[in-house]
Structure formats: structure tokens, C-alpha cells
């Protein structure tokens, strides 16, 4: 129960990271809130334009075997202006001959927040692979200037039955380092977004944790293997998914 002198908006502010109940000074925002907004906006812009550093991800993966590729977008400006180029591999990209029985390709893509990838991709990959005993996994692919659909071409080139793409999500004013994890069964160029499943906002402690994301994605992969499909045909029904 609130008292006449207590702040009636405090409960709401404590329950969300959204910008609510900011107050006002005259007909404007209080100075502190305005400065917070500008700082959050600057952080979002910096996240989008930060250079992707594959070496950081490789090191965080413990020196695991990785492949580095790039999309058809030659630079960051082109990537932002031409989303279609970020969905295709650069001309001349080659892969080792696909092995027999590759179950999964894992692609780490910079997306719209390389910052998110640097912070969260490696622990998410590590947690996920630990929950896939018996799965044959291709070397992790690190993709620059890349969007989600690039994983379809990578997965097909590696002969994988499924692809998981970890990508930096578009920054917002409350989250500049949010990682998305997209799953597609039977990857090949031309797959639609409706044929994917997604676990979003992987960014502990304020978003989904690494272990929670790994549990959900592993359950989706196992269910997709049984069903032979992903996307709208495969529903994430929480604990029932892995039952």
C-alpha cells in the first residue's frame, strides 16, 4: 500500500527496463532522463557500427575449429543499405567438402550488433553443444556483414540437416547487446522466415540466460529432427516440447 508521499510509478519502473514514468520538468523531460536517453541512443548506434572481431569469438570458444566467411556486402555501409547482400555469401566462398551425416551447422553472424556476438555468442554455443550428445556438428562458421538467411547457404554448403544462426539483434534503447538464435531445418537458399524458430534477447542477466536458451534450442532441434520441419510447423511449448 502506498503512502501519499510515495512514488506511485516506482512499482512499474522496477518491473521493466522500458522507458516509462520518466517524469517531467515543465513541458520537457527532466535533465537526467534526457541524458539517459541520449546515452542509450548513442550505445545503440555504436553497437550497430562496431567492427566484428572473429578472433574474439574464436578465443572465447577455446580455440575450437572455426571457418571464417563474409557476405556479399563489401562493407558496413553497404550492409546496412542492402539487406539482400547480407543474406548471400561473397562470390568465391568455398567450404571443405561436406562430410557424411552432418547433423548441424552453427553460424555466428555479426548482424546488427557485433557487440552482442562478442559478449554472448561463445557461451551460448558452448551451452548448446553440451546438450546435443550424438549430434555431428560441423566447424563453427564466423560470418561478417551477415544476416540470418546467410545460414541457409552455409548449412547447404556444409551438407547439414539443420542450421543454427546466432546473430546480433537490432539494438534498442534498452538493449544494445541482444543476441538472437535462429533454427532452420533442412537449410537451403530461399527458405522463408516462417520456416525458422527463434529464441531472442539472449543477454543475461537482463534477458534470456545462456543455459535457458540452450535448453530451448536443443529441444527444438530434437523435435525438428523428429518432425522433419521447423518454423510454423514446430511449436515451442515450453517444458512440453522435450517431453
Q: 68: annotated binding-site residue? A: no
Cα–Cα distance for residue pair 192/104, rounded to 1 Å:
19
Tell me the pLDDT tens digit for each residue of 92-124.
999 988 777 899 999 999 999 999 999 999 999
Full set of structural domains in the chain with CATH: 54-242 (3.40.50.11240)
pTM above 0.85, yes or no: yes
Mean pLDDT, rounded, for 152-163? 97
- Per DSSP bridges, beta strands 140-144 and 104-109 are parallel
Element at 220 (helix H, strand E): helix 210-227
Is 102 exposed, middle or buried, given 0-12, 13-18 or 19+ CB atoms closer than 10 A?
Answer: middle
3-class SS of residue 46? helix
State mean pLDDT over 171-186: 93
Residue 239 burial (CB < 10 Å; 0-12/13-18/19+)?
Answer: exposed
Q: How far is CA 20 from CA 23, 219, 237, in A?
A: 9, 36, 31
Rounded Cα–Cα distance for residues 170 and 168 (Å): 7
Provide mean pLDDT across the span 231-235: 90
Burial class (CB in 10 A: 0-12, 13-18, 19+), 187: buried
Amino acid at each position: 500500500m502506498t503512502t501519499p508521499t510515495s512514488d506511485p510509478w516506482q512499482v512499474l519502473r522496477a518491473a521493466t527496463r522500458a522507458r516509462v514514468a520518466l517524469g517531467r520538468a515543465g513541458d520537457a523531460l527532466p535533465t537526467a532522463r534526457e541524458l539517459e536517453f541520449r546515452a542509450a541512443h548513442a550505445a545503440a548506434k555504436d553497437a550497430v557500427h562496431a567492427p566484428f572481431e572473429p578472433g574474439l569469438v574464436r578465443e572465447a570458444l577455446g580455440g575450437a575449429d572455426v571457418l571464417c566467411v563474409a557476405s556479399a556486402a563489401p562493407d558496413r555501409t553497404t550492409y546496412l543499405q542492402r539487406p539482400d547482400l547480407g543474406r548471400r555469401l561473397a562470390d568465391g566462398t568455398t567450404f571443405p567438402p561436406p562430410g557424411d551425416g552432418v547433423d548441424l551447422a552453427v553460424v555466428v553472424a555479426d548482424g546488427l550488433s557485433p557487440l552482442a556476438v562478442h559478449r554472448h555468442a561463445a557461451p551460448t554455443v558452448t551451452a548448446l553443444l553440451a546438450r546435443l550428445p550424438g549430434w555431428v556438428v560441423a566447424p563453427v562458421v564466423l560470418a561478417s556483414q551477415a544476416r540470418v538467411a546467410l545460414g541457409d547457404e552455409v548449412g547447404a554448403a556444409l551438407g547439414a540437416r539443420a542450421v543454427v544462426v546466432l546473430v546480433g539483434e537490432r539494438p534498442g534503447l534498452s538493449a544494445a547487446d541482444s543476441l538472437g538464435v535462429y533454427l532452420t531445418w533442412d537449410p537451403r537458399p530461399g527458405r522463408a522466415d516462417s520456416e525458422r524458430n527463434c529464441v531472442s534477447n539472449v543477454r543475461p542477466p537482463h534477458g534470456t540466460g545462456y543455459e535457458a536458451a540452450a535448453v530451448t534450442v536443443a529441444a527444438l532441434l530434437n523435435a525438428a529432427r523428429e518432425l522433419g520441419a521447423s518454423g510454423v510447423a514446430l511449436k515451442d511449448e515450453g517444458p512440453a516440447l522435450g517431453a
